[in-house]
Amino acid sequence: MNALSRSLDDFRELMRRDQVFDLVNRSARNDTVDMSHGVALYLEGITKSFDGFRALDDLTLYIGDGELRCIIGPNGAGKTTLMDVITGKTRPDEGSAWFGSNMDLLRLKEHEVAQRGIGRKFQKPTVYENHTVFENLELAMHADRGIMTSLTWRLSGEQQDRIGEILELIGLTARRDTEAGLLSHGQKQWLEIGSLLMQNPRLLLVDEPVAGMSGQETEATAELLTSLAGKHSVVVVEHDMDFVRSIAREVTVLHQGSVLAEGSMDQVQNDPRVREVYLGEEE
Ligand SMILES: Nc1ncnc2c1ncn2[C@@H]1O[C@H](COP(=O)(O)OP(=O)(O)O)[C@@H](O)[C@H]1O
Ligand SMILES: [Mg+2]
């Protein structure tokens, strides 16, 4: 038997109805992301135009599993559009976006992207103001059930422990019974990060987490995000340079929709192209 007919036979075997169903079922259930190659996110050749203006222009970017990456860049560089593309809010005109090596993000709807393990924190905190800190985390745990079901659901010991862990992590243990509406701006931001963590995302996208925070809150946020790395991949978009310096290992500079420079904060800050388009702006 030659190679061609052998592979045709293989193909027929593969297409047998029971096998096909198995294949279909497997891909439908295949919601565990594969990061065995050490890469959490592959973005290649992403282009997105709005009325002829290229907000993203042939952008290629990789984020490692467990990495903490900061993305900086002047206003209009395409940072938010980039997050929109990753989370399925915006479809690019060209390019590919994979979560781990097995999930084609461009084939998933926004809620599916979230379900598969990409959490996004928008700039403005969105918490349930009339519920306590604890209840907020409880609700986040059952995001797919309604509020009523969630609050009458009896938590298992394991689930209570999980909430306890997150409360510690976000520094709100002492505030667990406080109504979220009474928290400071910074505390609300942490609660929202905590809520995202209840879903146990592998990748967390955070847009300008320290905007409007006090110095102390900013420091605590740096600590929180740093502590998440390793277990989660974290991408932080931020304008506050001191903050970026305090947390960043690897920094990506976006400019006109593509990557201008990548490296440590020192490397990018000393890059003349970066100084020209971005850091120089502030001097
Ligand atoms: N929905 C949209 N319609 C038209 N233009 C848009 C839209 N979203 C973003 N843009 C444009 O794309 C460019 C990049 O925007 P954005 O991704 O928000 O940049 P950044 O977050 O880095 O400030 C900007 O010039 C912005 O005006
Ligand atoms: Mg933006």
Model confidence over 90-122: pLDDT tens digits?
A: 999 999 999 999 999 999 999 999 999 999 998
Rounded Cα–Cα distance for residues 54 and 226 (Å): 33
Range of weakest confidence among 5-14, 74-83, 170-179: 5-14
Residue of the CA atom closest to atom 4 of ligand 1? 50
Check whether 80 has a pLDDT greater than 70.
Answer: yes
Predicted local confidence at residue 150, as pLDDT? 61
Report how far residue 170's alpha carbon sits from residue 32's, in angstroms, rounded to the nearest whole number.
Answer: 26
Among all ligands shown, which has an atom nearest to the Cα of 72? 1
Distance from Cα 97 to the centre of ligand 1, integer Å: 19
Beta strand spans in the chain (E):
39-50, 53-64, 68-72, 94-99, 103-104, 118-121, 203-207, 233-237, 250-255, 258-263
Q: Round to whole Å and give the CA distance between 47 and 92.
A: 6
Question: How far is 87 from 101, CA to CA, in rounded Å?
Answer: 16
* Helices 157-169 and 133-141, packing angle to 10 deg: 120
Which one of the ligands is nearest to 81 CA?
A: 1
- Mean pLDDT of the 247-259 span: 92
Work out the pLDDT band at 29, boundaries 50, 70, 90: very low
Distance (angstroms) between ligand 1 centre and the Cα of 282 equals 21
In the chain, the domains with their CATH numbers are 37-280 (3.40.50.300)
> Which ligand neighbours the alpha carbon of 54 most closely?
1
Distance CA 213, CA 158 (A): 33
**Cα 117 from chain centre:** 8
Closest to 71 measured CA to CA, from 247, 271, 220: 247
Say how many Å lie between the CA of residue 7 and the centre of ligand 2.
50
Tell me which residues have their CB closer than 6 angstroms to ligand 1.
Answer: 50, 55, 73, 75-81
133-141 vs 185-198: helix axis angle to the nearest 10? 30
Distance 134 CA to ligand 1 centre (A): 36
Task: Give residue 121's identity as a one-letter amino acid code.
Answer: K
Q: Answer whether residue 238 shows pLDDT above 50.
A: yes
- How many residues comprise the chain? 283
Number of Cα atoms under 13 Å in the Cβ half of residue 261: 20
Q: Residue with the nearest Cα to atom 12 of ligand 1?
A: 55
**Across residues 254-278, what is the average pLDDT?**
91
- Residue for token digits 């850091």? 279
- Nearest one of 236, 234, 266 to 254, comparing CA atoms: 236
Residue 183 has pLDDT above 90, yes or no: yes
Rounded distance between C-alpha atoms, residue 40 and residue 61, angstroms: 11
pLDDT of residue 123: 74
Highest mean pLDDT of the ranges 42-51, 142-151, 205-214: 42-51
- Enter the tokens of residue 189: 């931001």
Residue closest by Cα to atom 1 of ligand 1: 50
